[in-house]
Chain A
Amino acid sequence: MEKLPKWADIALIPLINLGLALIVSGIVLGFIGQNPFEALGIMVTGAVGSTYGWGYTLYYATNFIFTGLAVAIAFHAQLFNIGGEGQAQLGSLGVALVCLALPWPHWTLALPFAIVGGALFGAAWAVIPAYLQARRGSHIVITTIMFNFIASALLVYLLVGALKAPGMAPETAGFPEGTQLPTARDIFAAIGVDFARTPLNVSFVVALLAAYALWMLLWRTRLGYEIRAFGHSQSAAIYAGISPFRITMTAMLISGALAGLMAVNAVMGEQERLLQDNVQGAGFVGIAVALMGRSHPVGVLLAAILFGALYQGGAELEFETSVPREMVVVIQALVILFTGALDGMVRSPLEKTFLRFGRQRPDPDMAAK
């Protein structure tokens, strides 16, 4: 018997967890002398009160959709890929190499190749941790953490050396004009709507397609079934003839590729050159997004937009009040804590409540049988 109805598992518990995280955030704000309701008001208006706010919210959300999906697919195979940050950094290298390789005539040509470049490099960075997990049993959390640091060292090395553009800053030359992705402003202007100047670009559509493709993969293909079966019970999956090596490798490669795709939005769509810290923690936000979204593409999408709004709202909060931007990091930490680590705190009392509730009013169908 299921202890919890489905709606409680996928909606009620995340909402309670989110509520707890927000209440604690409010208390923190109160302690530093800020009215939490006023702050919430500023954040909401800042994030979704104008096309400018929406533009930034959805721009951040695009990054988080990619990294969130990356963590989510690994979660489905019971793997905790904490290396989204490093995989996204390598993805940015792939995207930058593609963009700088040719004087691209038009973005429609550059985009598919950049997608391939980002995905390939991101996936490549997941190969060694995945292999070590699958063949040698090395804990994937530790190896992916180590690979995050190695990735950032590699980028530093390349940006002060081989890839550095003339000048002081450790960055590559700007990408050619033909790689500039159309922004929301350009697209909306074509249909006569005025949209504020923001970095939101067509990568958002790519992110939505990636979410749809991942849903198709997980719930409509044999491979997706195998990944989920492996995640639910390794021994049952092995008994059914599913190769643990193949599933671990595939899930991690897809995960790395998705994280690498983030660079299409951040590097190609916004920065238009390769910078040292181009991921800015989005790889880690993906963990919060995947937890919050219960590793389902739709959940990830909603959670990514929520976190996008949080980041944009946090920037506005810093602008309007004395509360620094790091407030967002605190909220994010609390969301991870309550939805991820302290899940049992909410779940078990809720399960007991539902069980008691179920006993008092037995299912009429069951009584009829």
Chain B
Amino acid sequence: MSYLDLIQILDSTIRLATPLLFACLAGLFSERAGVFDIGLEGKILISAFFSAAIAALTGSVWLGLLAGIAASVVFSAIHGLASITFRGDQLISGVAINFLAAGMTVLIAQDWFAQGGRTPALSGEARFASIDLPFAEALSGIPLLGPLYAEAISGHTILVYAGLLTVPLTWYVLFRTRFGLRLRAVGENPGAVDTAGVSVVRLRYAAVLICGVLCGFAGSYLATGLAASFTQNMSAGRGYIALAALIFAKWRPWYALGACLLFGLLQAVSNRYSSLDLGIVEIPNAFVLALPYILTVVILAGFVGRAVPPRAGGTPYVKER
């Protein structure tokens, strides 16, 4: 493997990690507020479809992004309605949302475009263009670091950089603002928050809606940045990998970045090599693809660095009467 190969793998790692990162941070907000969300997958999918569809119809990727976010937020609102207002089972609601997205996207795609459940291919203004970071050209001559900067770090779409910036932003909101403190408290001990006179319901809805917005970015990047159209079930389990990354990161923003980059790297490697020859053993591709899930189970088992979820996660809050 040459240095250029390595840079190309890093480049594709960053691309593949971006949707995971958005979805993972989305889950972070929701689960920190005590609302489990296994519907990340569905929200990514519905957003991917509406982003691609609206971008194809209007020719503007920005309108597509807005449509994707709106669709994802609507699905979040359904999840909120079921799990906060009607105190239903959050896991079951998530399952329903995943199916709803899987079915609705194909149904609407077929009705609008009649291309077998996909949208037309996007080009030009209907896709996010890649951005060259300053001095990328000038610095590319520098040995080692130059190509790394020019090829792997520069030249992504704006959403990739937005995703990376969302990490410190999430950290700041959750750990340095009053809203963030309350949001985390509501996921640990909603009764205490309620006693302090802060509305549990409103906080949880806020968290769920933020989750919707971030999943909207994830789906939009998937369909208009990473790919150039919507195809059936294109989220392909990314919502679940993001969930795995969230557990792997123990519900922390900076760890989430690390986990998403790691899982992105695994995807990039498995896309590039049909099997991984490590000299002594040959690792099959399927194993590399399954590794995020295996690692998550190991972390969950608690033998290496136990992951403890927010304490009130998954339980609806019932105010005392």
Q: Which residues of A contact B296 (CB under 8 A)?
A: 142, 146
Contacts known (A153-B287, A326-B117, A340-B88); A142 close to B300, Cβ less than 8 A? yes
Q: Nearest Cβ distance between residue B120 and chain A, in whole angstroms? A: 17
Contacts known (A337-B78, A345-B86); A142 close to B287, Cβ less than 8 A? no
B95 sits at the interface (CB 8 A): yes
Q: Which residues of B contact A345 (CB under 8 A)?
A: 86, 88
Q: Which residue of chain B has its CB nearest to the CB of A346? A: B86
Type the 1/0 row for A123-140, where 1 means its CB is closer than 8 Å to any CB of B: 000001000100011110
B100 sits at the interface (CB 8 A): yes
Q: Nearest Cβ distance between residue A291 and chain B, in whole angstroms? A: 7
Q: Nearest Cβ distance between residue B58 and chain A, in whole angstroms? A: 20
Q: Is the CB of B91 within 8 A of A82?
A: yes
| Interface hit among A194-202, A294-302, A327-335, A351-359 | A327-335
Q: Is the CB of B297 within 8 A of A141?
A: no
Q: Which residue of chain A has its CB nearest to the CB of B244? A: A146
Task: Identify which of residues 332-369 in chain A touch chain B, using a CB-to-CB cut-off of 8 Å.
Answer: 332-334, 336-337, 340-345
A66 sits at the interface (CB 8 A): no
Q: Is the CB of A149 within 8 A of B237?
A: yes
Q: Nearest Cβ distance between residue B292 and chain A, in whole angstroms? A: 8
**Docked pose: A107 CA to B149 CA in angstroms:** 64
Type the 1/0 row for A306-340, where 1 means its CB is closer than 8 Å to any CB of B: 00000000000000001110111111111011001
Residue of A143, A284, A328 touching B300 (CB-CB under 8 A):
A143
Q: Is the CB of A341 within 8 A of B89?
A: yes
Contacts known (A150-B290, A161-B284, A341-B82); A324 close to B243, Cβ less than 8 A? no
Q: Which residues of A contact B304 (CB under 8 A)?
A: none
Q: Is the CB of A340 within 8 A of B103?
A: no
A145 sits at the interface (CB 8 A): yes
Complex A-B: 8 CB contacts under 8 Å: A80-B89, A137-B302, A329-B103, A332-B103, A333-B96, A336-B92, A341-B89, A342-B86
A175 sits at the interface (CB 8 A): no
**Docked pose: A367 CA to B237 CA in angstroms:** 60
Q: Is the CB of B103 within 8 A of A337?
A: no
B247 sits at the interface (CB 8 A): yes
B207 sits at the interface (CB 8 A): no
Q: Which residues of B contact A143 (CB under 8 A)?
A: 297, 300
Most B C-beta atoms less than 10 A away, residue of A160, A324, A332: A324
Residue of A137, A284, A331 touching B95 (CB-CB under 8 A):
A284
Contacts known (A80-B91, A142-B247, A326-B103); A337 close to B300, Cβ less than 8 A? no
**Docked pose: A331 CA to B99 CA in angstroms:** 9
B227 sits at the interface (CB 8 A): no
Contacts known (A145-B240, A153-B290); A330 close to B103, Cβ less than 8 A? yes
Q: Is the CB of B243 within 8 A of A154?
A: no
**Docked pose: A150 CA to B244 CA in angstroms:** 13
Q: Which residues of A contact B300 (CB under 8 A)?
A: 132, 136, 138-139, 142-143, 146
Q: Which residues of A contact B290 (CB under 8 A)?
A: 149-150, 153-154
Type the 1/0 row for B282-300, where 1 means its CB is closer than 8 Å to any CB of A: 0010110110011011001
Q: Which residue of chain A has its CB nearest to the CB of B307? A: A138
| Interface hit among B13-21, B104-112, B218-226 | B104-112
**Docked pose: A340 CA to B296 CA in angstroms:** 27
Taking Cβ atoms with an 8 Å cutoff, the residues of A that contact B are 28, 32-33, 80, 82, 128, 132, 136-139, 141-143, 145-147, 149-150, 153-154, 156-157, 160-161, 284, 287, 291, 322-324, 326-334, 336-337, 340-345
Q: Which residues of A contact B261 (CB under 8 A)?
A: none
How many chain B residues touch A (Cβ–Cβ < 8 Å)?
47
Contacts known (A157-B284, A340-B93); A333 close to B99, Cβ less than 8 A? yes
**Docked pose: A332 CA to B99 CA in angstroms:** 7
Q: Nearest Cβ distance between residue B244 and chain A, in whole angstroms? A: 7
Most B C-beta atoms less than 10 A away, residue of A33, A149, A334: A149
Q: Which residues of A contact B38 (CB under 8 A)?
A: 82, 141, 145
Q: Nearest Cβ distance between residue B30 and chain A, in whole angstroms? A: 14
Q: Is the CB of A343 within 8 A of B240?
A: no
Q: Which residues of B contact A150 (CB under 8 A)?
A: 290, 293-294, 297
B258 sits at the interface (CB 8 A): no
Q: Nearest Cβ distance between residue A333 and chain B, in whole angstroms? A: 3
Q: Which residues of A contact B107 (CB under 8 A)?
A: 28, 32, 323-324, 326-327, 330
Contacts known (A142-B300, A324-B110, A342-B86); A337 close to B244, Cβ less than 8 A? no
**Docked pose: A328 CA to B104 CA in angstroms:** 10
Q: Is the CB of B82 within 8 A of A157?
A: no
Residue of A139, A323, A341 touching B88 (CB-CB under 8 A):
A341
**Docked pose: A150 CA to B291 CA in angstroms:** 8
Q: Which residue of chain A has its CB nearest to the CB of B316? A: A344
**Docked pose: A71 CA to B309 CA in angstroms:** 24
Q: Is the CB of A344 within 8 A of B100?
A: no
Q: Is the CB of A340 within 8 A of B89?
A: yes
B176 sits at the interface (CB 8 A): no
Considering the complex of A and B, which 5 residue pairs feature the smallest CB-CB distances, nearest first? A329-B103, A333-B99, A341-B93, A330-B103, A153-B290
Q: Which residues of B contact A80 (CB under 8 A)?
A: 89, 91-92
Q: Is the CB of B88 within 8 A of A138?
A: no
B272 sits at the interface (CB 8 A): no
Q: Which residues of B contact A323 (CB under 8 A)?
A: 107, 110
Q: Is the CB of A337 within 8 A of B106?
A: no
Q: Nearest Cβ distance between residue A338 and chain B, in whole angstroms? A: 8
Contacts known (A337-B96, A341-B92); A326 close to B297, Cβ less than 8 A? no
Residue of A146, A327, A332, A344 touching B293 (CB-CB under 8 A):
A146
Contacts known (A132-B300, A142-B300); A153 close to B289, Cβ less than 8 A? yes
